[in-house]
Chains A and B, each alone.
Chain A
Amino acid sequence: MKILRGAPNHEVLDLDYWLTASALERFIREELYGRGYQKAVVAVSGGVDSAVTLALAARALGPENVHALSLPHRDSSPESSAHARLVTGRFGVELETVEITPMVEGYAEQTPNITPRRKGNVMARARMIVVFDKSEQYHALPLGTGNKTERLFGYFTWHADDSPPVNPLGDLYKTQVWGLAEYLKVPDEIVHKAPTADLEPGQTDEADLGVRYRRADVILEHYLKGYPDDYIVGLGYSPEEVALVKRRVNRTHYKRHLPAVALVSSTAIGEFYLRPLDFRTED
């Protein structure tokens, strides 16, 4: 007699990458066209998130309608710029380089005790100054490149990486971005290198976070869906990992919201007065 076993029944992160890519391409087109834009600006760091965003944008809009920006600082790893060139070459998008060193150092010179961490945040915000200015110059909308894992961890510079108005990857875990990158044929050296914000020399995401992305993503998915800790531990994760992931999520909710506003009326925006961001009337 045959003994047949059912498939595991826990939450899985597997995606159909053809479906995901085609939906995200459509999302980019419709969100841009609906706002009166035909073109996009993407800051390309040399990492996998911006590489995937660039690939999707090129497929959605045509490479000629995508402005890729490399925004190095003198302390940035040379590999980052090389990988930015590699990925734009792969997807046929022209790359414009704007050095942010003078912007950042102009501020840093006036701030003698600035720490590497603070300077890293200034770099990220300087990059957004350039991105939004280039957006106006080219009448092209900035695309965000942040993924769901870093958004949940608050692992980004506030009012910098999270600023662009349209973000195709914001609901994909890092694990899923890697899968999509392979489907889109992002160069292997970009997909397989250790993820880094490259804001400080030698920095890597997973060392900063204290947990591997592939493990964190499974924990996150179960935590977000309301599974208790014991269930997650039963899947092979340590109580310490689960606690770390939950702590990072719950210390950073403010980074995923608009600022707290003192409520004094029954028409407070976003509390009583609720309209979706695409709402409009004919008047």
Chain B
Amino acid sequence: MVRHALLQLKPQKGLIGRNLEHLQQALEKLKDENVDVAVVPEAYPTGYFLQGGVRELALEAAELEDRLGGWHTDNYQKPLDLIIGFYERDGGSYYNTAAYFELGGRGLIHRHRKIFLPTYGVFDEERFLDRGHELTSFETRFGRAAMLICEDFWHTITATLAALQGAEIIYVPSASPARGFGGPAPANVERWETLARAVSGEHGLYVALASLVGSEAGKLMSGGSLIAGPEGEVLARAPEFEEAVLLADVDLERIPPVRYDNPMLADLKAGLPLIFPELRKVVEEL
């Protein structure tokens, strides 16, 4: 069992020091819960909507690692894996990045730079950020994982690729302004759950969604973080709009029997070569 904590936190815009302190306080409260992996939403250290302010507030991955690692050494006896979304500066380029840190261990073991930058409606990411160009799964000390950020996950082909690369769990830091108030939950929250359940059920893997909360100049970040299991079931769900910590035990040993009973991933591997020429044709014609 791998104890996960999804931290549905509310940052204060631009106050990186305060926000990291708030994260550390939340983790300290969980000290007795034996958390192995903590997941923090997209753009947590700064808040999501920065426009050109990305240039002022983006962090280098090493800088973030130093700040988190120093705190961990002072406060934790054992390693803690931490997935966190942040705006990353790398030379003259800026990315919307998720980093996987093994604090008290190997440090930064993987980073995913958001590929699908929403630039429509209320979103304007591509104006201020560069796209990532890679999607790879990676080994953690618990199993094989992948990270996708927000809209990356709204294109299910990305999760399919991660599953084909062997991912047993997909971590999804997100920041999703609530919209569509016609039902008992915001439409975007319902969409997130539908996607998480469909992806986890199709591929027989876990999905851990950590979603930001807080009002950013009228845009209410919706929360609704959740963790879905390999049969497409929701194992735990956080409320909308308010801060919460979601604790869930991930049992990676459930994956083989679930995939045996419902061999969608194996069938995909068998059938993919048949449809790949068509897929390549579509891509070549773009």
Contacts and interface: CB of A to CB of B under 8 A. Distances in A.
A binds B: yes
Interface of A: 12, 14-16, 18-20, 22-23, 26-27, 30-31, 34, 273-282
Given A276-B51, A279-B53, A281-B56, A23 B241 contact: yes
B215 interface: yes
Contacts of B53: 275-276, 279, 281
Q: Which 5 A-B pairs have the closest CB atoms?
A: A30-B215, A274-B51, A280-B14, A278-B217, A274-B52
B182 interface: yes
A282 B241 CA distance: 25
Given A278-B217, A279-B13, A18 B184 contact: yes
B51 A23 contact: no
17 contacts: A19-B185, A22-B241, A23-B178, A26-B242, A27-B215, A27-B220, A31-B215, A273-B52, A274-B52, A275-B50, A276-B13, A276-B217, A278-B47, A278-B216, A280-B13, A280-B15, A281-B57
Interface in B91-121: none
Interface majority SS (helix, strand, loop, mixed), chain B: loop
Contact of A282 (B17, B52, B215): B17
B183 A16 contact: yes
B12 interface: yes
Contacts of B220: 23, 26-27, 30
A72 B53 CA distance: 44
A60 to B, nearest CB: 12
Given A26-B215, A31-B215, A282 B13 contact: no
B216 A276 contact: yes
Nearest to A14: B182
B49 interface: yes
Contacts of B184: 16, 18-19
Contacts of B132: none
Interface string B240-269: 011000000000000000000000000000
A1 B143 CA distance: 53
Interface string B133-176: 00000000000000000000000000000000000000000000
Contact of B51 (A22, A34, A279, A280): A279
Interface residues of B, number: 30
B15 A275 contact: no
B181 A16 contact: yes
Contacts of A26: 215, 220, 241-242
Contacts of B277: none
Interface of B: 12-18, 47, 49-53, 56-57, 178, 181-186, 214-218, 220, 241-242
Nearest to B52: A274
A282 B14 contact: yes
B182 A15 contact: yes
A19 B181 contact: yes
Contacts of A282: 14-18
A278 B13 contact: yes
Nearest to B179: A171
A277 B13 CA distance: 10
Nearest to B16: A282
Nearest to A19: B181
Contacts of B57: 281
Contacts of B214: 30
A80 B51 CA distance: 43
Given A15-B182, A19-B183, A275 B12 contact: no
Nearest to B184: A16
A34 B217 CA distance: 10
B208 to A, nearest CB: 25
Contacts of A15: 181-182
B177 to A, nearest CB: 11
A275 B181 contact: no
Contacts of B47: 278
A280 B51 CA distance: 12
Contacts of B185: 19
A28 to B, nearest CB: 9
